[in-house]
Structure 1
Amino acid sequence: MIKKISVEQKIRKYTNGQLFDTVDDIVTEFPLTIFINNQEFATMVCTPAHFEEMVIGFLASEGVIRFLDDIKAFTIDEHAGYAHVTLHADVTTSQQYYSKRFIGSCCGKSRQFYFHNDARTAKTATTNLSINPDQCIKLMNDMQKRSTVFQETGGAHNAALCTPEKIVVTRTDIGRHNALDKLYGYSMMNQLSVRDKIIVFSGRISSEVLVKAAKIGVGIVLSKSAPTDLAINLADDLNITTVGFIRGQSFNIYSHPERIING
């Protein structure tokens, strides 16, 4: 039987000068190995939920597929931890570039990319969407209220795909990239337009997270935490608005502030 998202673990706890035995909820870690056309492609360490969304989103973000119809067959063996994907075409080109270092020019757009696939598949945002400060704060609060696995275990990242007014879908995973891949897979499987959507995220906006958002195609990323300098540079290049440290009634806007409209 497939593992649960969290399990109870006996622990010894120290608090207020006392040691005592109790139980704690621990988030589950699960390896899923992806085979493409019968060849091993990658192993993802993840939370055991929404496997199909995660795999489809991951393959799309890596440029292996562009459309859902690129997949001829898809099966998941949850007991063994395998995902078998058969494509209509081979993936020689994608495998050649997967996780290979990208050496860019010293000037021009996208000079900050680490990997070839990122340079090939990240999209420059074209959205005209805007959002006001109250909506930023409300979306973050609403996502945190839905983050039950994090509340129980403290060991998961949360991501949500939203309109300015409401959350469309939320996903949880121990891997922040996996949570975003699940959103990407969900949008592809449900033919959901993402150009007019926002990503709300619980973790740090690293360059990898920013690139994931660019591959999905959104133009606004809201986070509870901080960005890195490389993420901000990429956001400037890719026309993405990044907002961090959304806590209480304040936040910081790091790139393309014109989409955050007060009033």
Structure 2
Amino acid sequence: MQLAREYDTTDYLIAPDPQAARLTRRVVGHDHTGAATEIAVIEERPLTIFLNGQEIVTAMTIGDYPDYLALGFLRNQGMLGAGEEVTGVDYDDELETVVVRTATPTNHEEKLKKKTRTSGCAVGTVFGDMMEGLEGLTLPATPLRTSDLYALATRINRTPSLYLEAGAIHGTVLCQGDQPLVYMEDVGRHNAVDKIAGWMMATGTAPDDKVLYTTGRLTSEMVIKTAMMGIPALASRSGFTAWGVEIAREVGLTLIGRMRGQRFVCLSGEERLVRDADPDAVPQEASKQRRKGARA
């Protein structure tokens, strides 16, 4: 009974759907013995985002939740302010475009001139003046219980997902307390977090008591986007980059990485942690926790 509960996704607001049409494709190949084998591989497709009449970027994505991806991307790039009135989000599947319309015309040509390639996969983009949005930022001092962290890691790592089905993908999960709420996946971790930002913007969800959990590296881009969203804590199974740690410390973000079983490392925002769980009581993670041999 316990096993079934851990794999249940009915209490997620949005959960991965590994069997969804168009997200994966069956491909036949040959294994190390030369035998024919068929596996699921992740689909990639371009999505061009427009803000009013101006083309902003073309991103490679798996194609689900294009409206949230567009909203979140523009929000995290500082192109949509917190008080901006969005009058429409129009997606055209045939043209593979999303047009976000606002009540007030915008002009971001200068930002487009500063566009740079990031270290993220899947053609991630970030603008040179994105750091400006962090000036004067104060994140809420919401306590973060280690018992909740352990519960989240266990639950998320056992949730059916495209990662477990096919690999080659990143996941980002919006959490509250010990409950995962919205689980997004994409070929780039920045796309996954932008989808969550877009969902939060569309639903008016407050960030103050939330935690962002990601399967990917804790890079500067992930730290910046989490802080821009107003979320006070970011956690991951993976490791850190030096600039990511530096920025997290500058903005007061709690940054936790290398979460494996009973172990984790906190490199920023230790003051938020409430150590209410005995690490020795947390089960060690099996070396092959990820079933089906999937690899991101």
- Note whether the superposition's TM-score is higher than 0.5: yes
1:13 equivalent in structure 2: 31
1:167 to 180, 186, 204: 180
1:179 to 183, 186, 192: 192
2:141 equivalent in structure 1: 128
Comparing 141-150 with 45-54, which one deviates more in the overlay?
141-150
2:104 equivalent in structure 1: 89
What TM-score do you get using the length of structure 2 for normalisation? 0.78
Describe the SS at the equivalent of 1:86: strand
Percent same amino acid among aligned pairs?
23
2:215 equivalent in structure 1: 202
> How far is the alpha carbon of 1:68 from its aligned partner?
7.4
Describe the SS at the equivalent of 1:146: coil
> How far is the alpha carbon of 1:133 from its aligned partner?
2.1
Any unmatched runs of 5+ in structure 2? Answer: 1-19, 117-125, 277-296
Structure 1 distance, partners of 2:49, 2:168, is 24
Q: Give the total of aligned pairs.
A: 248
2:244 to 202, 218, 231: 231
Describe the SS at the equivalent of 2:31: strand
Any unmatched runs of 5+ in structure 1? Answer: 103-112
What TM-score do you get using the length of structure 1 for normalisation? 0.88
1:139 equivalent in structure 2: 152
Describe the SS at the equivalent of 1:152: helix
What is the CA RMSD across the aligned residues, in angstroms? 2.2
Given that 1:123 and 1:215 are in contact with CA atoms closer than 8 Å, whether structure 2 keeps it comes out as: no
**Distance 1:190-1:200 versus aligned 2 partners, 3 A rule:** same
2:43 to 23, 28, 40: 28
Structure 1 distance, partners of 2:222, 2:74, is 16
Aligned-partner residue type, residue 79 of structure 1: E
> How far is the alpha carbon of 1:85 from its aligned partner?
2.2
**Distance 1:123-1:81 versus aligned 2 partners, 3 A rule:** farther
